[in-house]
Chains A and B, each alone.
Chain A
Amino acid sequence: MTVVAPDETPLAHQRQQRRRLWLLLAPGGLWLLFFFVLPLLIVMLYSFATPGPTGDVIWQFNFDSYITLMGKDLYFNAYYRSLWVGLQTTVICLLVGYPLALYMTLAAPKQRNLLLFLVLIPFWTNFLVRTYAWMIILSNNGLINELLQMLGFAKQLLYPSTGAVLVGLIYGSLPFMVLPLYASLARFDFTLMEASADLGAGRWRSFWRIMFPLTVPGVVAGSVLVFIPTVGQFVVSDLLGGSKVDLLGNLLQRLFTRSNPPNWPLGSALALVFMFVLTLIVIIYFRTTTEEDR
């Protein structure tokens, strides 16, 4: 029911409401315009420019950077590796995070708050520091190797390696998986599991038919929150991979700052193509996991 003031036509009322809406949207909109849309346009502009001999940019526009991109395995491999590492990280976070979130949901309220607190505690320390900590734990004389030695096993080369990168990425992303899952599970009505059992479904079937479909929004949110930042990572792969694991982020960083000379147009093109691919993946993921009538 809409109440319209007697001296006001519905049209005028509508117009006024629209104006109010714009006013509310303005701060966020302006922020996005200046710090997202404009920079993106600048990146786009750069990607069509020509790299100069000293790392500068010559404002001659062509498709050269994109053509270079398509032609070299180096770039394709970086895309592929980044997506693959992102996928592994996401799947493992999901497999570890779902039971953890479920356990938190089912815990007594006091314990639940403590667990939630424990999940959030790592955020109190700088991410870089935590990644260095993993370097120490995994190093040749680190905690794990010392333990292995004490138990009579040979020392293993744990770091630097792709495995170490994966461990670091999973460790860093897990809270981003657990929290949306927890939010979804906390809203889940566990009486439905009893109803399912009552109707003859065992635990596993009840999980797949009832609990999982109803917590898909949490799974989707968590997966996107883990996958997107992971594929763009370059610090973890740099530190724990010992500069040997080349993810897209590392490549980008090199193109912009370290290569001799730096190549901004190529870096911009690389970033834009990757952004396009990622957007496509996320759209397909949403389409297939979210019900059409929701």
Chain B
Amino acid sequence: MHVTNTSAVVLQQVTKRFQNVTAVDAIDLDIRDGEFFSMLGPSGCGKTTTLRMIAGFEFPSSGVISLGGAHVEKVPAHLRNVNTVFQSYALFPHMTVAENIAFGLEMKNVPRADIKPRVDAALAMVQLGNYGARRPKQLSGGQQQRVALARALVNRPKVLLLDEPLGALDLKLRKEMQIELKRLQQEVGITFIYVTHDQEEALTMSDRIAVMNQGKLLQVGSPTEIYERPSSRFVADFIGEANFIDGVVTDIGTPYCTVRASNGLELKGMLQGTSSVGAAVTIAIRPEKLRLTVQAPENVSTLAAKVEQVVYIGSDTRLTVRLSDTITLDVWEQNIRSTLDRDAYWQRGEQGFVTWNPDNALILTA
């Protein structure tokens, strides 16, 4: 991995307002050199606006943006050493593939003799060696995507910005390109800033992920941190699936705290952040972290539950169990038992016991 401790891009208190809408609200980010960094969030969360400010297409209303240590927040796009892969690819339709790729080098007055070998190398890098003479229109979506990548990377930018670049591709091609992108990024060692609303894509490719919502930065961390230790209910909900139980803190302990749910159940979990006795909180548990057993296990806190719904999806069985009048939980069981054992599968209406490791029950204050 090429990640070092120097910063490629730093955002300090960056805010962008359009008329009276605040698209990006006082964001701080420190993106490291050589990192695959994703910005994840629902549409309208401000991730694309943030990317556009780094590219220079928008200027922040306030705040500081540095690229490689130099302040650039007022520098226009054509003078910044970053390149963008657009969601629509934005290939120049009146130029050939090779002319498209050469365009950036021409604009930087690279000597003519150097342009051709660099264009050829860029085409080879994205496995389009023989396509230089074609027009963008004559290529498939996936090929156009590769040309857009080559056109950006041929300039050897410090940072490559990608705005939902796989959004227009079908699922199979997306998966292929995800791997391809990750390979390219490791090969060239350039910092990638990747904007997506697809959580799976972000988890698969990123070294670190920033989760945004309504213009605010909610959490920055590795895919594991974001998934296993979400700092807020929004993050837990947006990335993967989670059960949420509202309650009030009744005991602050180490390592576990106790929360009383609305119906009086006492649940243990790990407190994320700080809280105090009596505060309203939410417990979040991923469905795959729950176990449903026929007999109550010993020495662990467990809750009686009734199976309400069984959905068999091959690798997993997805169960919905009811704990009380107001609380149901989703439980995902991997189908690891013998397929001949008829009793291995839960049936609707059966009684069981739900158990979890309190390490995996997160007490969220936001």
- Binary CB contact string for chain B from 298 to 318 against chain A (1 if under 8 A, 0 otherwise): 000000000000000000000
Interface residues of B in 151-202 (CB under 8 A from A): 151-152, 155
- Binary CB contact string for chain B from 100 to 112 against chain A (1 if under 8 A, 0 otherwise): 0001100110000
Interface assignment of B55: CB less than 8 Å from any CB of chain A: yes
Listed A/B pairs (5) with beta-carbon separation below 8 Å: A191-B86, A198-B77, A198-B84, A199-B155, A201-B103
Q: Roughly how many angstroms separate A196 CA and B83 CA in the complex, as a whole number?
A: 10
**B: which residues have CB within 8 A of A?**
55-57, 76-79, 82-84, 86, 88, 90-94, 103-104, 107-108, 151-152, 155
B55: A residues at CB distance < 8 A? 194, 198
A214: B residues at CB distance < 8 A? 93-94
* Known A-B contacts A197-B56, A198-B55, A199-B155; A210 and B92 likewise in contact (beta carbons under 8 Å): yes
Chain A residue nearest to B108 (CB atoms) is A200
Contact B78 A291 (CB under 8 A): no
Chain B residue nearest to A291 (CB atoms) is B94
Contact B78 A200 (CB under 8 A): yes
Interface residue SS majority, chain A: helix
Q: Shortest 8 CB-CB distances between A and B: which pairs?
A: A199-B104, A200-B107, A195-B90, A197-B77, A191-B90, A197-B78, A201-B107, A198-B84
Interface assignment of A120: CB less than 8 Å from any CB of chain B: no
Most chain A CB within 10 A, of B78, B79, B86, is at B78
Q: Roughly how many angstroms separate A167 CA and B90 CA in the complex, as a whole number?
A: 40
A196: B residues at CB distance < 8 A? 78, 92, 103
Task: Determine how close the nearest CB of chain A comes to the CB of B145; give it in whole angstroms.
Answer: 14
* Known A-B contacts A189-B88, A191-B86, A191-B88; A198 and B78 likewise in contact (beta carbons under 8 Å): yes
Contact B92 A198 (CB under 8 A): no
Task: Determine how close the nearest CB of chain A comes to the CB of B175; give it in whole angstroms.
Answer: 26
Chain B residue nearest to A190 (CB atoms) is B90
Partner of A199, one of B57, B83, B88, B94: B83
Interface assignment of A118: CB less than 8 Å from any CB of chain B: no
Interface residues of A in 260-284 (CB under 8 A from B): none
Partner of A194, one of B90, B107, B151: B90
Contact B90 A189 (CB under 8 A): yes
Q: A195-B91, A199-B78, A199-B107 are in contact. List 6 more A-B contacts (CB 8 A).
A: A189-B88, A194-B77, A196-B78, A196-B92, A200-B104, A209-B103
Task: Determine how close the nearest CB of chain A comes to the CB of B122; give it in whole angstroms.
Answer: 13
A38: B residues at CB distance < 8 A? none
Q: Roughly how many angstroms separate A268 CA and B76 CA in the complex, as a whole number?
A: 60
Contact B83 A198 (CB under 8 A): yes
- Binary CB contact string for chain A from 173 to 207 against chain B (1 if under 8 A, 0 otherwise): 00000000000000001011011111111100110
Q: Roughly how many angstroms separate A189 CA and B94 CA in the complex, as a whole number?
A: 12
Interface assignment of A29: CB less than 8 Å from any CB of chain B: no
Interface assignment of A122: CB less than 8 Å from any CB of chain B: no
Chain B residue nearest to A213 (CB atoms) is B94
B94: A residues at CB distance < 8 A? 213-214, 291
A291: B residues at CB distance < 8 A? 94
Contact A194 B86 (CB under 8 A): yes
B155: A residues at CB distance < 8 A? 199-200
Q: Roughly how many angstroms separate A198 CA and B88 CA in the complex, as a whole number?
A: 14
Partner of B92, one of A192, A197, A202: A192
A206: B residues at CB distance < 8 A? 78
Chain B residue nearest to A195 (CB atoms) is B90
B104: A residues at CB distance < 8 A? 199-200
Q: Roughly how many angstroms separate A215 CA and B83 CA in the complex, as a whole number?
A: 25
Contact B151 A199 (CB under 8 A): yes
Contact A205 B107 (CB under 8 A): yes
Q: Roughly how many angstroms separate A192 CA and B103 CA in the complex, as a whole number?
A: 12
Most chain B CB within 10 A, of A198, A209, A214, is at A198
B82: A residues at CB distance < 8 A? 198
Q: Roughly how many angstroms separate A201 CA and B108 CA in the complex, as a whole number?
A: 8
Task: Determine how close the nearest CB of chain B comes to the CB of A294; give it in whole angstroms.
Answer: 9
Task: Determine how close the nearest CB of chain B comes to the CB of A126; give it in whole angstroms.
Answer: 41
Q: Roughly how many angstroms separate A210 CA and B152 CA in the complex, as a whole number?
A: 17
Q: Roughly how many angstroms separate A206 CA and B78 CA in the complex, as a whole number?
A: 10
Task: Determine how close the nearest CB of chain B comes to the CB of A260; give it in whole angstroms.
Answer: 57
Q: Roughly how many angstroms separate A192 CA and B84 CA in the complex, as a whole number?
A: 12
Q: Roughly how many angstroms separate A17 CA and B151 CA in the complex, as a whole number?
A: 46
Most chain A CB within 10 A, of B55, B94, B104, B151, is at B94
A205: B residues at CB distance < 8 A? 107
Q: Roughly how many angstroms separate A243 CA and B163 CA in the complex, as a whole number?
A: 63
B92: A residues at CB distance < 8 A? 192, 195-196, 210
